[in-house]
Amino acid sequence: MKKVIVVTGSFSGFGALAARALAKAGHVVYASMRDTSGRNKGQVQEAAKFAADNKADLRTVELDVLSDTSANAAIMKIIEDNGRLDVVVHNAGHMVFGPLEAFTPEQLAELYDVNVLSTQRVNRAALPQLRKQKQGLVVWVSSSSSAGGTPPYLAPYFAAKAGMDALAVVSARELTRWGIETSIIVPGAFTGGTNHFAHSGRPADTQRVAEYDNGNKQFETMRLQEFETIEVADGARYRSTT
Protein backbone atom coordinates (compact mmCIF):
# COMPACT_ATOMS: atom_id res chain seq x y z
CA MET A 1 0.00 0.00 0.00
CA LYS A 2 1.31 3.46 -0.91
CA LYS A 3 2.35 5.49 2.14
CA VAL A 4 2.88 9.21 2.68
CA ILE A 5 6.31 9.58 4.24
CA VAL A 6 8.44 12.47 5.48
CA VAL A 7 12.19 12.01 5.97
CA THR A 8 14.02 14.74 7.88
CA GLY A 9 17.53 15.79 6.96
CA SER A 10 17.23 14.56 3.38
CA PHE A 11 19.63 16.89 1.62
CA SER A 12 22.40 14.24 1.69
CA GLY A 13 23.58 10.95 3.19
CA PHE A 14 21.19 8.44 4.72
CA GLY A 15 18.26 10.84 4.38
CA ALA A 16 18.68 11.37 0.64
CA LEU A 17 19.31 7.67 0.03
CA ALA A 18 16.28 6.61 2.09
CA ALA A 19 13.97 9.16 0.49
CA ARG A 20 14.94 8.03 -3.01
CA ALA A 21 14.65 4.33 -2.20
CA LEU A 22 11.20 4.78 -0.65
CA ALA A 23 10.00 6.88 -3.59
CA LYS A 24 11.22 4.27 -6.08
CA ALA A 25 9.30 1.67 -4.08
CA GLY A 26 6.10 3.54 -4.93
CA HIS A 27 5.49 5.75 -1.90
CA VAL A 28 4.81 9.48 -1.72
CA VAL A 29 7.97 10.80 -0.10
CA TYR A 30 8.75 14.27 1.20
CA ALA A 31 12.49 14.86 1.48
CA SER A 32 12.68 17.60 4.07
CA MET A 33 15.56 20.03 4.43
CA ARG A 34 16.15 23.63 5.38
CA ASP A 35 17.03 26.55 3.13
CA THR A 36 15.48 24.98 0.02
CA SER A 37 15.70 28.23 -1.93
CA GLY A 38 19.26 28.98 -0.88
CA ARG A 39 22.07 26.66 0.20
CA ASN A 40 20.13 23.49 -0.61
CA LYS A 41 18.60 24.70 -3.88
CA GLY A 42 20.85 22.29 -5.76
CA GLN A 43 19.60 19.35 -3.69
CA VAL A 44 16.01 20.34 -4.47
CA GLN A 45 16.82 20.29 -8.19
CA GLU A 46 18.56 16.93 -7.88
CA ALA A 47 15.52 15.47 -6.11
CA ALA A 48 13.22 16.77 -8.86
CA LYS A 49 15.46 15.26 -11.53
CA PHE A 50 15.52 11.92 -9.71
CA ALA A 51 11.72 11.95 -9.51
CA ALA A 52 11.38 12.65 -13.23
CA ASP A 53 14.03 10.13 -14.28
CA ASN A 54 12.57 7.36 -12.13
CA LYS A 55 8.88 8.28 -12.40
CA ALA A 56 8.87 8.46 -8.61
CA ASP A 57 6.77 10.68 -6.34
CA LEU A 58 9.68 12.34 -4.55
CA ARG A 59 8.95 15.84 -3.31
CA THR A 60 10.91 18.33 -1.23
CA VAL A 61 9.63 20.43 1.62
CA GLU A 62 11.20 23.22 3.67
CA LEU A 63 11.69 21.98 7.23
CA ASP A 64 14.20 23.35 9.71
CA VAL A 65 14.19 20.90 12.62
CA LEU A 66 15.47 23.66 14.92
CA SER A 67 12.26 25.67 14.42
CA ASP A 68 8.81 24.85 15.81
CA THR A 69 7.24 27.17 13.23
CA SER A 70 9.04 25.48 10.35
CA ALA A 71 8.20 21.97 11.56
CA ASN A 72 4.53 22.83 12.00
CA ALA A 73 4.31 24.46 8.57
CA ALA A 74 5.99 21.54 6.80
CA ILE A 75 3.81 18.87 8.40
CA MET A 76 0.68 20.94 7.77
CA LYS A 77 1.55 21.24 4.07
CA ILE A 78 2.07 17.47 3.77
CA ILE A 79 -1.28 16.74 5.40
CA GLU A 80 -3.07 19.37 3.29
CA ASP A 81 -1.57 17.91 0.11
CA ASN A 82 -2.46 14.30 0.89
CA GLY A 83 -5.12 14.26 3.58
CA ARG A 84 -2.91 12.09 5.75
CA LEU A 85 0.61 11.29 6.93
CA ASP A 86 1.68 7.69 7.48
CA VAL A 87 5.38 7.61 8.32
CA VAL A 88 7.80 9.99 10.02
CA VAL A 89 11.53 9.23 9.68
CA HIS A 90 13.76 11.05 12.18
CA ASN A 91 17.01 11.17 10.28
CA ALA A 92 18.25 14.75 10.75
CA GLY A 93 21.36 15.01 12.89
CA HIS A 94 24.80 16.52 13.24
CA MET A 95 28.14 15.10 14.35
CA VAL A 96 31.17 16.69 16.02
CA PHE A 97 34.70 15.39 16.36
CA GLY A 98 37.30 16.17 19.01
CA PRO A 99 38.20 15.59 22.67
CA LEU A 100 35.17 15.99 24.91
CA GLU A 101 36.92 18.36 27.32
CA ALA A 102 37.52 20.87 24.51
CA PHE A 103 33.80 21.33 23.77
CA THR A 104 31.94 24.06 25.64
CA PRO A 105 28.66 23.30 27.41
CA GLU A 106 26.95 25.53 24.85
CA GLN A 107 28.26 23.34 22.02
CA LEU A 108 26.88 20.22 23.70
CA ALA A 109 23.53 21.97 24.15
CA GLU A 110 23.46 22.89 20.44
CA LEU A 111 24.24 19.30 19.48
CA TYR A 112 21.49 18.00 21.79
CA ASP A 113 19.11 20.46 20.15
CA VAL A 114 19.87 19.12 16.66
CA ASN A 115 19.90 15.41 17.51
CA VAL A 116 17.25 15.15 20.24
CA LEU A 117 15.00 18.19 20.59
CA SER A 118 14.51 18.31 16.82
CA THR A 119 12.61 15.01 16.99
CA GLN A 120 10.30 16.46 19.62
CA ARG A 121 9.48 19.42 17.38
CA VAL A 122 8.62 17.17 14.45
CA ASN A 123 6.70 14.73 16.64
CA ARG A 124 4.58 17.47 18.19
CA ALA A 125 3.68 18.60 14.68
CA ALA A 126 3.00 15.13 13.24
CA LEU A 127 1.65 12.96 16.05
CA PRO A 128 -1.78 14.59 16.34
CA GLN A 129 -2.49 13.47 12.76
CA LEU A 130 -1.15 9.94 13.36
CA ARG A 131 -3.23 9.65 16.54
CA LYS A 132 -6.30 10.89 14.66
CA GLN A 133 -5.75 8.16 12.06
CA LYS A 134 -5.21 5.54 14.79
CA GLN A 135 -2.22 4.29 12.81
CA GLY A 136 1.21 5.30 11.63
CA LEU A 137 4.91 4.58 11.95
CA VAL A 138 7.70 6.60 13.56
CA VAL A 139 11.22 5.62 12.49
CA TRP A 140 14.26 6.78 14.46
CA VAL A 141 17.75 6.61 12.95
CA SER A 142 19.86 5.89 16.02
CA SER A 143 23.51 4.83 16.31
CA SER A 144 25.34 1.63 17.23
CA SER A 145 27.20 3.77 19.78
CA SER A 146 24.10 3.56 21.98
CA ALA A 147 25.06 -0.05 22.70
CA GLY A 148 28.55 0.94 23.88
CA GLY A 149 32.03 0.20 22.55
CA THR A 150 32.49 3.71 21.21
CA PRO A 151 35.76 5.17 19.88
CA PRO A 152 37.17 8.37 21.43
CA TYR A 153 36.63 11.94 20.19
CA LEU A 154 32.98 11.37 19.27
CA ALA A 155 31.58 11.59 22.80
CA PRO A 156 29.26 14.62 22.36
CA TYR A 157 27.63 13.09 19.29
CA PHE A 158 27.29 9.66 20.89
CA ALA A 159 25.80 11.16 24.05
CA ALA A 160 23.21 13.04 21.99
CA LYS A 161 22.31 9.92 19.98
CA ALA A 162 21.94 7.97 23.21
CA GLY A 163 19.49 10.60 24.39
CA MET A 164 17.51 10.29 21.16
CA ASP A 165 17.54 6.51 21.43
CA ALA A 166 16.18 6.64 24.98
CA LEU A 167 13.46 9.07 23.89
CA ALA A 168 12.48 6.69 21.08
CA VAL A 169 12.15 3.71 23.42
CA VAL A 170 9.95 5.53 25.92
CA SER A 171 7.91 7.20 23.19
CA ALA A 172 7.15 3.82 21.64
CA ARG A 173 5.40 2.68 24.83
CA GLU A 174 3.13 5.73 24.81
CA LEU A 175 2.28 5.63 21.11
CA THR A 176 1.45 1.95 20.76
CA ARG A 177 -1.97 2.45 22.40
CA TRP A 178 -2.82 4.81 19.52
CA GLY A 179 -1.97 2.18 16.91
CA ILE A 180 1.30 3.97 16.10
CA GLU A 181 4.30 1.70 15.61
CA THR A 182 7.94 2.54 16.27
CA SER A 183 11.11 1.31 14.57
CA ILE A 184 14.62 2.19 15.74
CA ILE A 185 17.29 1.75 13.08
CA VAL A 186 20.83 1.24 14.38
CA PRO A 187 23.39 1.72 11.60
CA GLY A 188 26.95 0.55 12.00
CA ALA A 189 30.02 2.61 11.12
CA PHE A 190 29.82 4.23 7.70
CA THR A 191 32.83 6.17 6.42
CA GLY A 192 31.29 6.73 2.98
CA GLY A 193 27.91 7.69 1.59
CA THR A 194 27.33 10.38 4.21
CA ASN A 195 28.64 13.87 4.94
CA HIS A 196 28.89 13.27 8.68
CA PHE A 197 32.66 13.57 8.87
CA ALA A 198 32.99 16.18 6.14
CA HIS A 199 30.49 18.48 7.87
CA SER A 200 31.31 17.57 11.47
CA GLY A 201 31.80 20.33 14.02
CA ARG A 202 34.98 20.97 16.00
CA PRO A 203 35.66 22.02 19.60
CA ALA A 204 35.63 25.73 20.36
CA ASP A 205 38.55 25.45 22.79
CA THR A 206 41.43 24.99 20.35
CA GLN A 207 44.05 25.32 23.10
CA ARG A 208 42.80 22.16 24.81
CA VAL A 209 42.66 20.38 21.46
CA ALA A 210 46.35 21.21 21.02
CA GLU A 211 47.09 19.92 24.52
CA TYR A 212 45.40 16.62 23.67
CA ASP A 213 47.27 16.39 20.36
CA ASN A 214 50.62 16.99 22.10
CA GLY A 215 49.69 14.60 24.88
CA ASN A 216 48.90 11.88 22.35
CA LYS A 217 52.30 12.30 20.75
CA GLN A 218 54.01 12.09 24.14
CA PHE A 219 51.97 9.02 25.03
CA GLU A 220 52.85 7.30 21.76
CA THR A 221 56.56 8.06 22.32
CA MET A 222 56.37 6.72 25.87
CA ARG A 223 54.65 3.53 24.75
CA LEU A 224 57.21 3.01 21.99
CA GLN A 225 60.02 3.34 24.55
CA GLU A 226 58.30 0.79 26.79
CA PHE A 227 58.05 -1.70 23.92
CA GLU A 228 61.73 -1.16 23.08
CA THR A 229 62.67 -1.82 26.73
CA ILE A 230 60.64 -5.03 26.71
CA GLU A 231 62.30 -6.16 23.48
CA VAL A 232 65.80 -5.49 24.90
CA ALA A 233 64.98 -7.34 28.13
CA ASP A 234 63.57 -10.30 26.22
CA GLY A 235 66.67 -10.38 24.02
CA ALA A 236 68.99 -10.38 27.01
CA ARG A 237 66.94 -13.13 28.68
CA TYR A 238 67.09 -15.18 25.49
CA ARG A 239 70.90 -14.84 25.27
CA SER A 240 71.36 -15.81 28.91
CA THR A 241 69.52 -19.09 28.39
CA THR A 242 71.34 -20.22 25.25
Instruction: Break the chain down into helix, strand, coil percent, rounded to 5.
Output: 55, 15, 30
Q: CA dihedral in degrees (187, 189, 190, 194; nearest 10)? A: 70
Walk across the sheet containing 4-7 and list its strands: 58-62, 28-33, 4-7, 87-90, 136-141, 180-185
Catalytic residue among 153, 157, 212, 238, which? 153
Length of the chain: 242
Q: Do 204 and 96 contact (CB within 8 A), yes or no?
A: no
CB 36 within 8 A of CB 62: yes
Q: What does R_g of the chain's alpha carbons equal in angstroms?
A: 23
153 among known catalytic residues: yes
Active site residues: 153
